[in-house]
Structure 1
Amino acid sequence: MAFAPSPIPSRTQYVLEAVKHAILTGQLPPGRALVEAELAAKFGVSKTPVREALKTLAGTGLVVMSEYKGATVRTVDATMAREVYDVRLLLEPEALRRTIARRASLEDAGQALARADAAADQAERSLANREFHRALYLPCGNPLLARMLDEVRDQAALVSTVAWSADPSWRHEADEHREILRLARAGDAEGAAGALHHHIASFVRRAFPAEDPDGAQ
């Protein structure tokens, strides 16, 4: 008999979401030490929910736990970016094909795109872009496939946060998002999947030119 996982206590969830947001918006940059006592004081909680939140974030790949250094925000390099984007290249275009084949609603993707266009800052834009991609693969009809993509979603957002800090290329990527959505709404599964593959591959190529997810050096 399977048992549902225990819900995360509210204080832990609060700390988890706050720290995650700070990481994914660049307020806590890669390599920054995450000191339990400092975070506990900042959020007005004991160190226990902070410790549990950091363990959960380590499980998602946003935080690195070390016996000697404690917890730090994960550092992004070309190897890490390639690993994350390789998974996306393998799974995300196929998920989009299935979403289109099922004639699933793309309304959420359109709304996310509009929020990204209207974003007041990079933080809002990054979060909206994450929702855009998720809205394309979530209705694919295979919950396991969607969960696998969810597992790399935060790490992909961390890569894009670091890349944008060096080269704010979001306007170019927004144009690519619009073209992907146009093709998807037209029912062109192969065209949309191809455009999505190009979008993912070209982003990591631009951001980390030493490593090419398609294998070129």
Structure 2
Amino acid sequence: MTGTFSLPASRTEVVLEEIRRGILTRELVPGQPLVEAELAARLGVSKTPVREALKVLSNSGLVTFSPYKGASVITVDAELAKSVYDVRMVLEPEAVRRTVERRDPELLEDAAEALKEASTAIADKDQAALSLLNRRFHRALYSGCGNPLLVSILDDLKDRAALISVVGWEANPSWKKEWTEHKAVLAAAKKGDADGAAALLREHIGGFLERVLKAIG
């Protein structure tokens, strides 16, 4: 998290992505205070875009605010993991089922490309890239469900889900297993097997939650 940005399209967006990356790569560790002045100095910006970025990250679930301590990186515990994955287990398989029924070849192609790039990220052990590709794969398969509100709800979980994934991967880097599971979901989707893709995805999400809960202890 160093360097000065020149002529960004949106200074707040650039700061937002840099802080998000720091959290998801564990450069900024759980419970770490996020002091506006310190972050501004490290990123070469004023405190205003940092303040705005922290507000956005609070809404997306990566940052928490305390009346006395200010902003800090959220800590993943069993309660958070269960609540996020409970919503995903209920909503995401149904969204994927509907996407498959609607048969959008562009979304399936995007999912396939994300899966291909994830294979390289696994080989390189690039956790940051893998986190983004994992998010891209899942979104490609639910974003065509035809219900913008359902897509918005699942999008709102993406940062929390990514952070929970990082916690699970630290204890058990099960990237290859998840890649294989993604491949099976995509194969079912390409065949037009909406119920099969939904069932495989539900099993995939539930299995990962079990591993995360074991990691948290």
Structure 1-normalised TM-score?
A: 0.90
Unaligned runs of 5+ in 1: 1-8, 212-217
DSSP-derived class of the 2:80 partner:
helix
Alignment partner, residue 57 of structure 2: 57
1:128 maps to 2:156: no
AA of the residue aligned to 1:167:
N
CA contact (8 A) 1:92 1:149 kept: yes
Q: Aligned Cα RMSD in Å?
A: 1.4
Report the CA distance between 1:87 and its aligned residue. Answer: 0.6
Q: How many residue pairs align between the two structures?
A: 203
C-alpha distance in 1, partners of 2:215/2:119?
Answer: 30
DSSP-derived class of the 1:33 partner:
coil
Deviates more, 1:195-204 or 1:113-122: 113-122
Report the CA distance between 1:210 and its aligned residue. Answer: 9.2
State which of 130, 146, 149 in structure 2 corresponds to 1:141.
Answer: 146
Alignment partner, residue 74 of structure 1: 74
Alignment partner, residue 21 of structure 1: 21
1:177 maps to 2:182: yes
CA contact (8 A) 1:126 1:157 kept: yes
Report the CA distance between 1:129 and its aligned residue. Answer: 0.8
1:104 maps to 2:109: no
DSSP-derived class of the 1:72 partner:
strand
CA contact (8 A) 1:36 1:50 kept: yes
Q: Which has the higher helix share?
A: 2
DSSP-derived class of the 1:197 partner:
helix
C-alpha distance in 1, partners of 2:75/2:215?
Answer: 17
C-alpha distance in 2, partners of 1:107/1:27?
Answer: 33
- Could you list the structure 1 runs, at least 4 aligned residues long, displaced by more than 6 angstroms after superposition: none
DSSP-derived class of the 2:157 partner:
helix
State which of 161, 164, 172 in structure 2 corresponds to 1:167.
Answer: 172
CA contact (8 A) 2:96 2:197 kept: yes
Alignment partner, residue 201 of structure 2: 196
DSSP-derived class of the 2:143 partner:
helix
C-alpha distance in 2, partners of 1:60/1:123?
Answer: 18
Alignment partner, residue 214 of structure 1: none
Identical pairs, percent: 59
Report the CA distance between 1:209 and its aligned residue. Answer: 3.6
DSSP-derived class of the 1:140 partner:
coil
